Structure 1
Amino acid sequence: MAATINYIEVKGVKIPLIFEEENRLPIVSMQLVFKDAGSVSDKEGLAKLSSKMMNEGTLSLGSNGFATALDEKAIQIGSSIGTETFVIEYSSLKEQFKEGMNLFSSLLKEPNITQKSLEKVKADMVGLLSAKENDYDYVASNALKKVLFEGTPLANPASGTIQSVKDTNLEEVENFLDKHIVLSNLIIVVGGDLTLEEAKQKAIELASNLQVGEAGEVKHYNVSSQEKDVVLKRETKQAYLYFGSPYDMKVGDNEYYKAHVATYILGTGGFGSRLMEEIRVKKGLAYSAYARVHVGKSGSYLTGYLQTKLESLDDAKATVKSVFENFVNGGVTEEELEQTKKFLLGSEPLRVETLSQRLSRTFMEFYKGQELGYSAKELELIKNLKLQDLNDFIKKHKEILSLSYAVVTK
């Protein structure tokens, strides 16, 4: 059966529940997704650190005891964050579902939020961040976000900095969880070998461990239209070139399908895309070159990257600029449009072959305020897209020519 959107009520709060029954395998999965609780919602690195604290088990069992209890039953429970959301995810065999829900409830009821756990998590994060100082893709990517979103929370690295992690105290973690991990921000996603009624019952039992709280709202931040270059000098044998620009589109825009097609031709489509054709095939400047559009509630922008020889950096940068200018001013060809249609329509079955993919798609449709099944409608729009309409759309988005660059080089 297809995924459906249902509702449960807990402590007077109406909570969306996205559900799909799938009994080919005796597996159950559940996600608690909290809106306005991702990296954009608070002090830099605090959401990430708080999610890691939720992976430290319960007060009663401790980190090791909780992990052992999970391992003995092949149950998985883990927390993570996105830019806008905080997710606690569960999966197990159907026969362990009852025991798994008990452990999940205990985690929500008494998470191991202690000074000892905090020091452990902080040490782990500082170690990872120290290692990332030599990951120049990570360095360049963060530098670009800082340029594009200067002065906003989106300019901050999701994992924070070594200093911000060290400076975080237990009260800040407790306040973050108390504020964001609440019923008013909750969307529940359930799928697997169980009925809708079973899913509702367990979801209600689980959600009853949470406080009502206040609903948050994801703020939108605009990308700077001022073109900037940032160059970071490191001991490297390659140049890392990251580039980005504004993209004037909001979540729910009825022309997003055109952006999907246009960006695929420009830089998402691998071999055959404009960037790959010019940068790798014709000039041999890089092994790969990529560009994609991000359209979210918190911000909408275009980014791309490539890695090239130190002596080829200027040529690669000029080529990126030239590709963008030719793309916006000249549009695409009928052949490019038809090839893109064939791929996007032909590969659709691969994007919905697993339960996880289908639940994720339904969640995103709901989260973006789209009607259920909008993705199928979007494919039909792509199928019927005319070349002139696509090129008119491309020419309208001249803001992507306001490119900023973040470069790591020797």
Structure 2
Amino acid sequence: MKTSFLSALVIIVGLLPVPALSADIQEIITKGGIKAWFVQEKSIPIVSMEVVWRGGASLDGKDKAGLASLAASTMDEGAGDLDSRAFQTRLSDLAISLRFDAAKDNFQGSLKTLRENREEAFRLFGLAITDPQFAEEPVERIRNQILVNLNRKLSDPNSLAGRAWFEAAFDGHPYAVPSDGTVESVKRITIDDLKNFKKRQIARDNMVVSVIGDISKEELVTLLDKTFLSIPKKAEIKTPEIAAPKTEKGVIVIDQDIPQSVVVFGGQGVLRDDDDYYAAYVLNYILGGGGFESRLNKEVREERGLVYSIYSYLYPLQSAGLQLGGFGTSNASAGEAISLVRAEIRKIRENGVEEEELASAKTYLNGSFPLRLSSNSNIANIMVSMQLHDLPIDYLQNRPKLINAVTLEDIKRVANKLMDPDNLLITVVGKPKGL
């Protein structure tokens, strides 16, 4: 069988050691008690920092949905004595990248700067999290941009299918509320709401920090204390209750006059700290996470030609484990494509996988991972993710062992637990036939 260039590259990379990154990660604790994971990297004169606060959009509430997202878009629009224009000009003049993002379970800040501008970059980041202005002009400007995007999503089939899936799967739970809000909820958000969001969620006890780059430990310790000691010690947040997706509604159709049906399907997955996580991770790769090598792709795309692409992935939220997937197909073939997905899930549940499939999945998952360590920003993100999920500091060294330890019996057991074709929630946008 002819090996593709990408497969060959993955195999070659897999034979190389994961960068000495695992051994180089240091856990540092400042005099003020700020904890961070740190890698000193002097090869390029850049410093990258990622900060994640637990909380995020799931705490917005239905009436103010989109609050975390609006806060993320406005925290860097003026802070301290610098108005929006002055703050953004200062960032631009010094080539500093500073931004915030909101997800369902967290709120993230990212900073990237040249070494020579590190002190000013950290100072500006500190101003943004301790004293954001939330002035009327930038807030209204950003709000209007968000509203334009939300109005566009009202007719976007991919957005409609995804939102409908979460609304049905988590009816009555915070995860049912869209992270970017609705047109109505975003209009209701006030400047006081933004200030209260910052006060409640930007604190030290729900924060994880990672830094990588051309900076010494001594320099970083000083900058971390200057940046973070002025935010509150404790956050005022409550984690959503653990929930399982509701799948009894089966197939939900949202009628839209378009030639192609957009389909989202999903059901129960695993939490990140579940003992079966790695078995589920490998299993998902074989089902639909492996691109052209996955079973769904081979059966639905290559054998039948019904889709251009089809995929599945694990989505472990803080309070719910999910396995999701999706595809687009002509309205005429929607019913057939969904039936094929169910059939592949049933087949893998009843028969497990072949030894060759399992070996191939392990080779790819281990071989491709070092490609994710290709930049300081990627490494910083991986380090904060490790901390959020309480993974040990030597996790990167042990990850291949955890994946290689998955057996055919593990796959069969987890497939029996998760892969239930009769317990899928499916949302379809379009004019599907054959359902």
Bucket of the pairwise TM-score, normalised by the shorter protein: over 0.9
Alpha-carbon shift at residue 217 of structure 1 (Å): 4.7
Alpha-carbon shift at residue 86 of structure 1 (Å): 0.8
From the superposition, tell whether residues 399 and 325 of structure 1 become closer, same or farther in structure 2 (CA, over 3 Å). Answer: closer
Q: Report the equivalent of 1:7.
A: 29
What are the Cα deviations for residues 92-115 of structure 1, in whole angstroms up to 9, with x where unaligned? 110111222232233334312123
- Aligned partners of 2:199, 2:149: CA distance in 1, in Å? 27
SS at match of 2:291: coil
Alpha-carbon shift at residue 308 of structure 1 (Å): 0.2
What are the Cα deviations for residues 179-236 of structure 1, in whole angstroms up to 9, with x where unaligned? 0011222222211000112111101000123122336453233211424322111231
Q: Report the equivalent of 2:388.
A: 367
The 5-angstrom pairing of residues 40-189 of structure 1 reads 40-43=58-61, 44-58=65-79, 60-189=81-210
Q: Report the equivalent of 1:31.
A: 50
SS at match of 1:88: strand
Which residue identity is paired with 2:47?
V
Query: Following TM superposition, where does structure 1 have runs of at least 4 consecutive aligned residues deviating by more than 4 angstroms?
Result: 398-401
- Aligned partners of 1:89, 1:360: CA distance in 2, in Å? 9
- Aligned partners of 1:250, 1:379: CA distance in 2, in Å? 20
The answer as to whether partners of 2:76 and 2:88 remain within 8 angstroms in 1 is no
What stretches of structure 1 of length at least 5 have no aligned partner? none
From the superposition, tell whether residues 91 and 400 of structure 1 become closer, same or farther in structure 2 (CA, over 3 Å). Answer: farther
Q: Select which of 243, 267, 288 maps to 1:221.
A: 243
Which residue identity is paired with 1:112?
Q
- Aligned partners of 2:30, 2:244: CA distance in 1, in Å? 35
The answer as to whether partners of 2:66 and 2:182 remain within 8 angstroms in 1 is yes
Deviates more, 1:355-364 or 1:325-334: 355-364
Q: Select which of 241, 250, 266 maps to 1:244.
A: 266
Alpha-carbon shift at residue 400 of structure 1 (Å): 6.3
Pairwise CA RMSD = 1.8
Alpha-carbon shift at residue 398 of structure 1 (Å): 4.5
SS at match of 2:326: strand
Number of equivalences: 405
- Aligned partners of 1:78, 1:162: CA distance in 2, in Å? 23
- Aligned partners of 1:53, 1:366: CA distance in 2, in Å? 27
What are the Cα deviations for residues 257-289 of structure 1, in whole angstroms up to 9, with x where unaligned? 111110000000011211101110111110111
- Aligned partners of 1:288, 1:398: CA distance in 2, in Å? 21
- Aligned partners of 2:209, 2:359: CA distance in 1, in Å? 39
- Aligned partners of 1:45, 1:357: CA distance in 2, in Å? 26
The reply on whether 1:17 has 2:36 as its aligned counterpart is yes
SS at match of 2:390: coil
SS at match of 1:314: helix
Q: Report the equivalent of 2:3.
A: none
The answer as to whether partners of 1:238 and 1:409 remain within 8 angstroms in 2 is yes
From the superposition, tell whether residues 400 and 25 of structure 1 become closer, same or farther in structure 2 (CA, over 3 Å). Answer: farther
Alpha-carbon shift at residue 55 of structure 1 (Å): 2.6
Which residue identity is paired with 2:395?
Y
Which residue identity is paired with 2:57?
S
Deviates more, 1:363-372 or 1:329-338: 363-372
Alpha-carbon shift at residue 237 of structure 1 (Å): 1.7
The answer as to whether partners of 1:240 and 1:306 remain within 8 angstroms in 2 is yes
What fraction of aligned residue pairs are identical, expressed as a percent?
Answer: 28
- Aligned partners of 1:157, 1:135: CA distance in 2, in Å? 15
SS at match of 2:374: coil
Alpha-carbon shift at residue 362 of structure 1 (Å): 2.6
Which residue identity is paired with 2:148?
G
- Aligned partners of 1:374, 1:399: CA distance in 2, in Å? 31
- Aligned partners of 2:298, 2:268: CA distance in 1, in Å? 24
Deviates more, 1:300-309 or 1:377-386: 377-386
- Aligned partners of 2:222, 2:266: CA distance in 1, in Å? 46
The answer as to whether partners of 2:26 and 2:37 remain within 8 angstroms in 1 is yes
Q: Select which of 283, 297, 303 maps to 1:282.
A: 303
Q: TM-score if structure 1 supplies the norm length? A: 0.93
The answer as to whether partners of 1:77 and 1:88 remain within 8 angstroms in 2 is yes
Deviates more, 1:144-153 or 1:362-371: 362-371
- Aligned partners of 1:362, 1:103: CA distance in 2, in Å? 23
What are the Cα deviations for residues 136-174 of structure 1, in whole angstroms up to 9, with x where unaligned? 111111111111111111111110000100111122111
The answer as to whether partners of 1:188 and 1:203 remain within 8 angstroms in 2 is no
- Aligned partners of 2:178, 2:27: CA distance in 1, in Å? 33
The answer as to whether partners of 1:15 and 1:187 remain within 8 angstroms in 2 is no
The answer as to whether partners of 1:225 and 1:399 remain within 8 angstroms in 2 is no
- Aligned partners of 1:48, 1:145: CA distance in 2, in Å? 18
The answer as to whether partners of 1:27 and 1:192 remain within 8 angstroms in 2 is yes
Q: TM-score if structure 2 supplies the norm length? A: 0.88
Q: Report the equivalent of 1:254.
A: 275
The reply on whether 1:351 has 2:369 as its aligned counterpart is no
SS at match of 2:133: coil
